[in-house]
Structure 1
Amino acid sequence: MALPTKEPVTPQNGVVRIAFVASAVPRRCGIATFTADLMAAVKAADPAVRCVAAAIDEPNTARPYGPDVRWRVKQGDKESYRRAARAINESSVDAVNLQHEFGLYGVWRDGVYDDHCVPFLETLQKPVITTLHTVLPQPEPQIRETVRRIAEHSTRVVVMAETAARLLRDVYGIAQRPVVIQHGMPAIVPRGRHRLKRQLGVEGRAILSTFGLVDPRKGLEYMIAAMPEIVARHPSALYLIVGQTHPELLKKAGEQYRNELVSKIESSAMSDHVRFVNQYLTQREIVDYLLATDVYVTPYLDLNQITSGTLAYALGAGKAIVSTRYLHAAEALADGRGLLVDVRDPDG
Structure 2
Amino acid sequence: MRAPEDLSAFPYLRELLNRIDVCTLATYPPRECGIGTFTKDLVDAIQKFTPFSDMSVIAINEEGAIHQYGRRVRFVIRQDELETYHEAADWLNASSASVLSIQHEYGIFGGEDGEYLLEFMERVRKPMVTTLHTVLTQPKENQKRIIQGIFEKSDRVVAMVDVARDILAESYGVNVNKLCIVPHGVPNIRRIPIDQAKRALGLEGRQVISTFGLISRGKGIEYAIQAVAKVAKEFPNVLYLVLGQTHPVVRRLYGEEYRNYLLNLVKELGIQRNVSFENRYLTLDEIIAYLNATDVYVTPYLGPDQIVSGTLSYALGCGKAIVSTKYLYAKSVLGPGRGLLADFADAESLADAILRILSDPQLRHNLEEEAFRYGRRTTWHNVAIDYLDIFREVLRERSERYQPTEPEVVQPL
TM-score by length of 1: 0.93
CA contact under 8 A between 2:197 and 2:289: conserved in structure 1? Answer: yes
The one-letter code of the counterpart of 1:86 is D
Q: Within 1, Cα distance between the matches of 2:187 and 2:157? A: 23
Q: 1:58 — aligned with what?
A: 62
- Structure 2 runs not aligned, ≥5 long: 1-9, 350-413
| CA displacement 1:257-286 (0-9 Å, x = unmatched) | 111100000111100000011111111111
Q: Within 1, Cα distance between the matches of 2:334 and 2:327? A: 10
CA contact under 8 A between 1:207 and 1:293: conserved in structure 2? Answer: yes
Q: Within 2, Cα distance between the matches of 1:336 and 1:297? A: 16
The one-letter code of the counterpart of 2:269 is S
Superposed CA RMSD in Å reads 1.4
Runs of 4+ deviating beyond 3 Å:
none
Structure with more helix by fraction: 2
Q: 1:102 — aligned with what?
A: 106
Shift, 1:201, TM fit? 1.2
Shift, 1:74, TM fit? 0.5
Q: Within 2, Cα distance between the matches of 1:246 and 1:12? A: 44
Shift, 1:12, TM fit? 6.2
| CA displacement 1:138-180 (0-9 Å, x = unmatched) | 1112211110111110011001111112211222112233110
Q: 1:320 — aligned with what?
A: 321
Q: Within 2, Cα distance between the matches of 1:106 and 1:65? A: 20
The one-letter code of the counterpart of 1:150 is I
Shift, 1:316, TM fit? 1.2
Shift, 1:114, TM fit? 5.7
78, 88, 100: which one aligns with 2:82:
78
Q: Within 2, Cα distance between the matches of 1:297 and 1:141? A: 33
Structure with more strand by fraction: 1
| Identity score, percent | 43
Shift, 1:199, TM fit? 1.5
What SS class does the counterpart of residue 347 from structure 2 fall into?
coil
Q: 1:211 — aligned with what?
A: 212
Pair 1:251 & 2:252 matched: yes
- Residue-pair matches, total: 334
CA contact under 8 A between 2:165 and 2:176: conserved in structure 1? Answer: no
Correspondences of 1:149-188 after superposition (within 5 Å): 149-177=149-177, 178-188=179-189
Q: 1:147 — aligned with what?
A: 147
Correspondences of 1:328-347 after superposition (within 5 Å): 328-347=329-348
Shift, 1:98, TM fit? 0.6
TM-score by length of 2: 0.79
Pair 1:91 & 2:92 matched: no
Shift, 1:340, TM fit? 0.7
The one-letter code of the counterpart of 1:118 is L
Q: Within 1, Cα distance between the matches of 2:103 and 2:185? A: 14
Q: Within 1, Cα distance between the matches of 2:277 and 2:28? A: 26
Q: Which has the higher Rg, Structure 1 or Structure 2? A: 2
